[in-house]
Amino acid sequence: MSEDRNSKSLGSEGASASGREEIIAGLNEDLAREYKAIIQYVVFSSALKGAEYSDIAEQLKIHASQELAHALEVARQIDYLGGTPTMKSKEAESSEDSKEMLEIDLRAEQETIKNYKERIVQAERAQEFALSAKLREIIAQEQDHEIDLKDALGLS
Ligand SMILES: [Fe+2]
Ligand SMILES: [Fe+2]
């Protein structure tokens, strides 16, 4: 049925175009997760109560601005690849309990790290090495966030 189609779609350009579409879709999911992280860190950093949480509350403010920097970078990469950055956030989670807030953040970081690992593999496969390098910088910070939260929860 597509005999008359240009053979271009069968070449390596076609393969990299479909890889690019997959990466754009994945990066938009990552961007939506970054928005969610910003919301949770903004709210939880001011909502955490108790002297034992004062250090981590300060750290969460730093996380919030780092997540914003990640969102800006991911949006820039989506645009570069020819996609449109999403305006939709993943749904933020909430809690009244300080410890639970940190657990919510920890789960979110672990989910984020898992997804960036996948994205790095996809970027390497598509030979998008600059993207891969940026994602590696981001994932290093996400791992620091995970450590901060585990420390605060007494899990490390
Ligand atoms: Fe992030
Ligand atoms: Fe993070």
CATH of the domain at 40: 1.20.1260.10
pTM of the predicted structure, to 2 decimals: 0.89
**Total number of domains constituting the chain:** 1
pLDDT in tens, 40-65: 999 999 999 999 999 999 999 999 99
Using the mean position of ligand 2's atoms as its centre, give its distance from the Cα of residue 20 in Å: 25
Which element (helix H / strand E) includes 129? helix 129-152
Quote the Cα angle for 149-153-156, to 5°: 80
Using the mean position of ligand 1's atoms as its centre, give its distance from the Cα of residue 125 in Å: 22
65 is a domain residue? yes
pLDDT of residue 137: 98
10 is a domain residue? no
133 is a domain residue? yes
112 is a domain residue? yes
User: Residue 116: which pLDDT band, with cuts at 50, 70 and 90?
Assistant: very high
Ligand 2 (ion): residues with CB under 5 Å are 109, 142, 145
User: Residue 113: which pLDDT band, with cuts at 50, 70 and 90?
Assistant: very high
